[in-house]
A and B are shown apart, each in its own frame.
Chain A
Amino acid sequence: MINIIKTFFILLFLLILNGCGKPTSTPQTLPTTWPEMETAAKGKTVRMFMWTGDPFINRYMQEYVVPNVKSAHGIDLQISSGQGNQLVSLLATELEAGKTTSSADIMWINGETFYQLRQLKALFGPFVDRLPNSRYVKMNSPFINTDFQQKVDGFEAPWGNVQMAFIYDTTRVQTPPQNRSQLAAWIKAHPGRFTIDTQFAGLTFLKGLLIDIAGGQTVLNGPFDEAKYQQYSAQLWQYLKDLRPHFWRRGETYPEGVAQLHQLFANREIDFTMSNNDGEVDNKVLQGLFPETARAYVWESGTIQNSHFLGITTHSGQKPAALVVINFLLSPEAQHKKMIPKIWGDGTVLDTQKLPLEKRMMFENIPGRKYAPNRADIQNRALMELAPEYMIRLAADFRKQMIEGKTP
């Protein structure tokens, strides 16, 4: 018995020592031309990790994308659930274990996930220029070529573009607040009817407030600035702590994610919900979760607009097939389908002016949004994303100041 235990100890430490060594990546040579790429991709299985918190998005992937890449390119696309910090911790553990072929090929990412994956050198690239459809992408727009103040540099391909919007019910709220001070007044007049979630939507809301407090976009542009963060975030926490007693549940707890926030709104526990996607309200009404009197709007003082991207892992074993899938997702057809409110309602990253006439017409004839604001009308209210460290710090400090900080 003792011998067996001893053997296990030795085995254990051998394994760990092995894991501490730097992983060696096997350099893969990719085909040079696109037809060769497509040939190399045929018959392969590609695994894509994405946020799966929306039935419409899931349906778009399962019922449109998966069958189409199968029939057009012979690729088996498999969708897995995983986003943001989960992805980072999975890939970090894979690197620690020295795994040479990642379990993920394509990942739906942006902002701080992009930043952390770049830090880990877990992203393959630059690859965007190799995609034939990338020529249609509106690469000159700062909202598309920059991700949280970081140059994309071809390490992730833009997939969609959205703007943060607030959602309310016209039967409950007649004149929704349009800026920070109006929101404060509204919350104080309606105690317990407002809250934010602790994930992406809530953090984007906080970043919008931070930009507003700092006096506009230009102040916080550029790389993370500790002094500025300290100065303006102090004012942000002051603002929020002042309102905290009037939040839902007196600000002692917050919904875990945006789905819970939506549910609270649907059950009339709170009067506002929010979404990183200005078009989401349409699909939530169609799902029957929100009442038909729900509307999305954007503050006069602006909200954050950002793009979401597709990245490929450094250790993906199926890079040609991953490239072909991403190229398909950027095609005018797939982008058009995705933009239809009934399907997903996600803004396109293509510059429709660059498209041939018939395809441009396709985009211009998308049935209008019923409950969401018009894209063109909110463009001038768009704020740029901040450097990723702002979000990482806000997430940690929100917990410290607002959830755990007991003193008002």
Chain B
Amino acid sequence: MSQFAGRWGAWLFGIGAIFPIVFSVGYALLYSVGWAGVLADGFTFVHWANVWTKNEVLPSVLFSAYVSTTCTVFSWILAASFFVHLHRKWLQSNWGMVWYLPFALPAMVAGFFTFQIFSGGGWLARLAYHFGWITSPQAFPEWVQDPYGIGIVMAHLLTGVPFFLLFFRTLWKDAIVDAYSELSIALGASISQTRWRVQLPILFQRSKGNVLLYFLTVFGAYDIPLMVGSQSPQMISVLTLRKFERFDLADKPEAFIMALLYTAILCAILLIKNVVDENPE
């Protein structure tokens, strides 16, 4: 295996993992300075300069960061508090398995579902109408396609909370949290002390890597913001594709500048992840 894997593994790694990234970055770079593309006429920094004057990029990056932070924080807190309070039931009852379902909810379906539930003419609005709380769809709070990204966050929570719940389920056994908790109680700690000082810190320490992965997934999300996001600000993937497919062909280089910025941010975060992994404390 060693010899075989050494030979073929190197090739596969080069072709499958390195080449796509190197090609993408190289091509995007060339395109962004006018060295590639159907309308390109030679080297220029004009597209790089243009991007900054339009005041779209920075809001989009900040908005993406805000949405992914919110999603991550809420998913983690919700999942952790459910789990800490209900882990016994969660681990024993077969009904707990129901949460595999939303976890496997494809982003596309989560977006569709969120829209059908939370929009002004959606299912909750209809419930509210029947309870007499609202008289028209307009009176229903703006939860999808709203400027604060509420719809995007809710759609992501639909899969994010289960993601962490299931992860905690595995972790709880691996990290023998029950044993530590019993020990802590035997030593005279209260239940709430055990939760705050033992259980939650273990969950946090052990899930740091997944927290970051989840953050990155939401950061680059496309399907959900496309369906339930507002038109301004747009998340980074949506904006990139919009520029790529815009009526005006002259906007295409800007799409590649966005792609480069996105990759740079991603690399920076991955480096941080490594720092986190290497210094667990």
Contacts and interface: CB of A to CB of B under 8 A. Distances in A.
A275 B6 CA distance: 61
A1 B10 contact: yes
Interface centre among B19, B36, B38 (most CB of A within 10 A): B38
Contact of B121 (A19, A112, A269): A269
A12 B22 contact: yes
Interface in A3-19: 4-5, 8-9, 12-13, 15-16, 19
A13 B26 contact: yes
Interface stretch (B69-77, B214-222, B246-254, B257-265): B246-254
Nearest to A254: B231
A85 B14 contact: no
B92 interface: no
B36 A16 contact: yes
A168 B159 CA distance: 38
A88 B230 contact: no
A220 interface: no
A192 B138 CA distance: 7
B137 A268 contact: yes
Interface stretch (A47-55, A89-97, A133-141, A153-161): A89-97
Contacts of B18: 5, 8
A253 B36 contact: no
A204 B138 CA distance: 26
B121 A85 contact: no
Contact of B36 (A20, A88, A89, A112): A20
B245 A85 contact: yes
A399 B121 CA distance: 25
A16 B142 CA distance: 47
Interface centre among B10, B36, B230, B231 (most CB of A within 10 A): B231
A392 B251 CA distance: 12
B180 interface: no
Interface string A155-182: 0000000000000000000000000000
Interface in B204-249: 226, 230-232, 244-249
B38 A198 contact: no
Nearest to B126: A267
Contacts of A88: 247, 249
Contact of B38 (A92, A266, A267): A92
Contacts of B232: 252-253, 399, 403-404
Interface in A59-94: 84-86, 88-89, 92
Contacts of A252: 147, 230, 232
B26 A267 contact: no
A401 B121 CA distance: 28
B246 to A, nearest CB: 6
A189 interface: no
Nearest to B14: A4
A15 B36 CA distance: 11
B248 A253 contact: no
Nearest to A95: B38
Interface in A259-280: 263-264, 266-269
Given A12-B23, A269-B138, A392 B252 contact: no
Nearest to B233: A404
A403 B231 contact: yes
Interface string A370-393: 000000000000000000000110
A89 to B, nearest CB: 5
Given A95-B38, A192-B138, A267-B137, A395 B121 contact: no
B193 interface: no
A191 B151 CA distance: 23
B11 interface: yes
Question: Interface range on chain B: under 10, 10 to 19, 20 to 34, or 35 or more?
Answer: 35 or more
A253 B60 CA distance: 15
Nearest to B30: A16
A16 B26 contact: yes
B121 A268 contact: yes
B111 interface: no
A357 interface: no
A396 to B, nearest CB: 6
Contact of A395 (B27, B145, B244, B247): B247
Contact of A264 (B121, B226, B230): B121
A395 B146 CA distance: 21
B14 A5 contact: yes
Given A19-B36, A253-B230, A396-B248, A404 B11 contact: no
A396 B55 CA distance: 14
Contacts of A1: 10
B81 interface: no
A111 to B, nearest CB: 10
B162 interface: no
B245 A89 contact: yes
B244 A4 contact: no
A328 B46 CA distance: 48
Interface string B136-150: 111000100111000
B35 interface: yes
B277 interface: no
Given A4-B14, A8-B14, A96 B37 contact: yes
B145 A8 contact: no
Given A13-B26, A403-B232, A120 B38 contact: yes
B141 to A, nearest CB: 12
A12 B26 contact: yes
B266 to A, nearest CB: 20
A316 to B, nearest CB: 18
20 contacts: A1-B10, A5-B22, A12-B23, A15-B23, A16-B27, A16-B30, A19-B36, A88-B247, A96-B36, A192-B138, A253-B146, A253-B232, A254-B231, A263-B121, A267-B120, A268-B137, A269-B120, A396-B247, A396-B248, A399-B231
Given A4-B11, A392-B248, 17 more contacts: A8-B18, A9-B26, A16-B26, A16-B30, A20-B40, A88-B247, A89-B252, A95-B38, A96-B36, A96-B37, A193-B138, A264-B121, A266-B121, A267-B122, A268-B136, A269-B121, A404-B232
